[in-house]
Amino acid sequence: MHEVRIDLGNAALIFIGTLRRKRWSLLWFAVAVGAFHWLVAVSFPAIGGMAAVTNVVRTFPAGLRTLLKLAPNLQAGFGVQDYLAFTWLHPLFIGLGAAFVVARATDALTGEIERGAIYLILSRPLRRWSFVVGKTLEMLVGAGVIALAGWIGLAVGVQTLPYALPLGNYLLAALMAWLLFGALGGGALLIASGFSRTSPAGGLAIAWTLISFVLDVIPAVANSPVGWLNPWHHYFPQAIVATGRLDPLGVGVMIGWLVGGVVGAIRVFGRRDLA
Amino acid sequence: MPPYPPDAPPAIHLENVAKRYGRDLAVADLSLTVANGEVLGFLGPNGAGKTTTIRLLLGFLRPTQGTVRLLGHNMAEPKAALAARRRLGFVPDVAGLDAAASGLWLLDEVAQLQQQPPVDRAQLLSALAVRDQDLRRPLGRLSRGTRQKINIVQGLQHRPDLLILDEPTEGLDPLAKRALFDLLHAAHARGATIFFSSHVLSEVEELCDRVALIRSGQLAAVARIDDLRAHMQRRVTVRLTGDAAEVGRRLAAAPGVASVNGDDTQWRFLTGDLPATLRLLATLPVADVTIEPPSLEDVFLRYYRAEHTPNA
């Protein structure tokens, strides 16, 4: 028990140390995402309001609506609430979030090996799993800060609009975005744990985020018996904002990818040669 | 006084260690023991297997065969490896330091991870002339020499029993090198074991009791520096008072003498049998004799030239 406490303490040290060193990059990520959500909200009247957006969206072909996960909500009309929910699926937002977790996951394992910093840390009485857990915590906290910054930007921005919007539901959408980033980060950590060079690890981790996204918009794959395993399959911000609740299966799949990825990374990283 | 009981296991014990990457054998059948309190120089040209050996020692690499023990702990067993690392100080290549961290953060963070108080930090910083303001700046903005000084402090600040240093003088100015050597001599005097990997022969010569030479992943020699020298040819210069041609002929015909060259006033040659050469010189018209002891560089060149000689 005493040893586990020491290991958890070491994980906390790695987490705090990494967060401290990378705080400025995290801050700028968060500012960018917050500013984006704020801008989407405040610019809503400038683009012609609800009528203009609805008309534009109705012209989208069915395939594009599927790609943008717009189809179900269009049946009930596409309003400002849906428009602002869509910001949680905007390529800029999910691209930034996915890039953040991929960058953090690959830097945490392959980057540290490539720079040689890992030898400075792991020559101490520190188990490798503590190191992976510490790095994972930093990635998760960072992804959480980014998702929260998006919600804060949105919450500030909607104050300028003459609509009553369910900000609590948007917070749930931000929570689901955080879980999605965690799931993608878990997969990226697992990929990175097997590499010693950042380029191939980063490339494969980016491929994992993109391919999993694309697979979910191919109906034959998305509707297959294994389609539910894809984290993107459960990421539906408009539904969350409309209903005000999270799909438990979706939350479970996201957490499953995160935990499975981290456990896999610990096993691979714990047994491999560090060179 | 050394911190070890007389029956303590050796500080480093490698037994038939091999490391293979696919078909490539990076280290082959390496056996080496470093006693407690010893200072061992670990020499080899680039690509000889120095870094692989250090990574095997620290448990970053798992040997394909054989056993690595540090301070009696088998590094293949995670719990034992942790116990060894508590008493270990490692000074890696300076490139591994995080450019975004300040020196003070780094020293505090690694001290916490080491689970040992940094009892010698102030003394080390003072000896290496690291200024307070340098400790508060990001490492990426410091000169290579200052980063290397901080790197040295992180490895020594908790007063380890076993020090593993990988080319620690890289980037240091002569004053800092001198300070480092004084610190290492002091560590040795209090009983610490030092494994000093370098390609700077004069440093190894000054600091180390023994030297291990690695070549193509295999130990080419492990011996006291004096013993290595004793087996090397000495360079002899004789100043003459008589017939130079006759002296040249007799030297060239003498057993153990090689590379004879000279002129009317002096001859220079190498001898592998100093007593026989001295007996010969006593019979020749010699005014003065200079015998140079072989340097570690001569030893190094002898071992590594052979590597590049066909059929050596």
Domain that holds residue B120: 12-225
Residue A72 has pLDDT above 60, yes or no: no
In this prediction, residue B165 has a pLDDT band, given cuts at 50, 70 and 90, of very high
- Of B62, B93, B114, which is closest to A124 when you measure between CB atoms? B114
Residue B289 sits in a domain of what CATH number? Answer: 3.30.70.920
Q: If you average pLDDT over residues A156-185, what whole number do you get?
A: 94
Do residues B163 and B147 both lie within one domain?
A: yes
What is the rounded CA–CA span in Å between residue B18 and residue B29? 5
User: Do B181 and B260 have their domain in common?
Assistant: no
User: What whole-number distance in Å separates Cα of residue A150 and Cα of residue A129?
Assistant: 32
Domain contains B310? no
Taking only the tens place, the pLDDT of each residue in B110-142 is 999 999 999 999 999 999 999 999 999 999 999
Crossing angle of helices A2-21 and B103-114, rounded to 10°:
170
Q: What is the mean pLDDT of chain B?
A: 88
**A250: burial class by Cβ within 10 Å (0-12, 13-18, 19+)?**
buried
Structure confidence by residue, pLDDT tens digits, B272-306: 888 889 999 999 888 999 988 776 677 777 776 65
* B262 in any annotated domain: yes
A22 vs B: CB within 8 A? yes
The 10s digit of each residue's pLDDT in A234-252 is 999 988 998 999 999 999 9
Residues 6 or more apart whose CB falls under 8 angstroms from that of B111 comprise B117, B118, B121, B157, B158
Calculate what percentage of chain A has a pLDDT beyond 70.
95
- In order of A95, A198, B191, the CA distances from A207 in angstroms are 12, 14, 54
**Average pLDDT of chain A?**
90
pLDDT at residue B306, as a whole number: 59
B16 within some domain: yes
In a domain, B6, yes or no: no
Chains A and B form CB pairs within 8 A to the count of 76
B140-148: long-range pairs with CB below 8 Å, 24+: B140/B99, B140/B100, B142/B103, B143/B171, B144/B94, B144/B170, B144/B171, B145/B171, B145/B172, B145/B173, B145/B176, B146/B103, B147/B94, B147/B97, B147/B171, B148/B94, B148/B172, B148/B176
Pair (B149, B285) in one structural domain = no
Amino acid B44: pLDDT: 85
Residue A74's pLDDT is 47
φ and ψ at A273, to 5 degrees? -75, 135
User: Of B58, B17, B37, nearest to B165 (Cα)?
Assistant: B58
In this structure, the answer to whether residues B67 and B138 fall within a common structural domain is: yes
A223: pLDDT strictly greater than 60: yes
Within this chain, do residues B285 and B191 fall inside the same structural domain, yes or no? Answer: no
Q: Which residues, in sequence order, are bridge partners of residue B218?
A: B215
Same domain, B239 and B205: no
Q: B145 and B40 in one domain?
A: yes
Contact at CB, A116 and B93, closer than 8 angstroms = yes
| % of residues, chain B, pLDDT over 70 | 94
| B302 found inside a domain | no
Nearest CB neighbour to B60, from listed A115, A126, A274: A274
One domain for residues B60 and B146: yes
Distant-in-sequence, close-in-space partners of A227: CB < 8 Å, separation ≥ 6:
A216, A221, A233
In this model, does residue A77 exceed pLDDT 80?
Answer: no
Helix (H, G, I), strand (E, B) or coil at A83: helix
- What is the pLDDT at residue B310? 45
Q: Is B271 exposed, middle or buried (0-12, 13-18, 19+ CB in 10 A)?
A: buried
Asked whether residue B308 is assigned to any structural domain, the reply reads: no
Q: What is the CATH number of the domain that holds B54?
A: 3.40.50.300
- Bigger pLDDT: B65 or B262? B65
Does residue B254 contact residue B280 with C-beta atoms inside 8 Å?
A: yes
Average pLDDT over residues A33-44: 93
From the list A10, A117, A275, which residue is nearest B60 (CB)?
A275
Our count of domains for chain B comes to 2
Residue B303 lies in a domain: no
Residue B270 forms beta bridges with which residues? Answer: B235, B258
What is the reported pLDDT for B80? Answer: 94
Do B241 and B122 belong together in one domain? no
Picking from A104-118, B15-29, B286-300, which range would have the lowest pLDDT averaged per residue? B286-300
Better pLDDT: B95 or B234: B234
B residues 112..171 contacting A (CB < 8 A): 112-115, 154
Asked if residue A78 has pLDDT above 70, the reply is no
Instruction: Read off the pLDDT of each residue in A58-67 and give the average, rounded to a whole number.
Output: 74
Q: What pLDDT is stored for residue A71 in this prediction? A: 54
Strand partners, B43: B198, B213
The reported pLDDT for the residue numbered A76 is 47
Kindly state whether residue B48 falls inside one of the protein's structural domains.
yes
Q: How far does B128 lie from chain A, in Å, by closest CA?
A: 20
Token pair in block for residue B176: 């800092």
For residue B66, the SS3 value is: strand
Length of chain B as a residue count: 312
Domain co-membership, B92 together with B200: yes
Residues A161-169, mean pLDDT to the nearest whole number:
89
Looking at the fold, whether B183 and B280 belong to one and the same domain comes out as: no
Tokens of B72: 């009696």
Residue A75: the pLDDT is 45
CB contact under 8 A, B85 and A124: yes
Instruction: Let me know whether B251 and B141 are in one domain.
Output: no
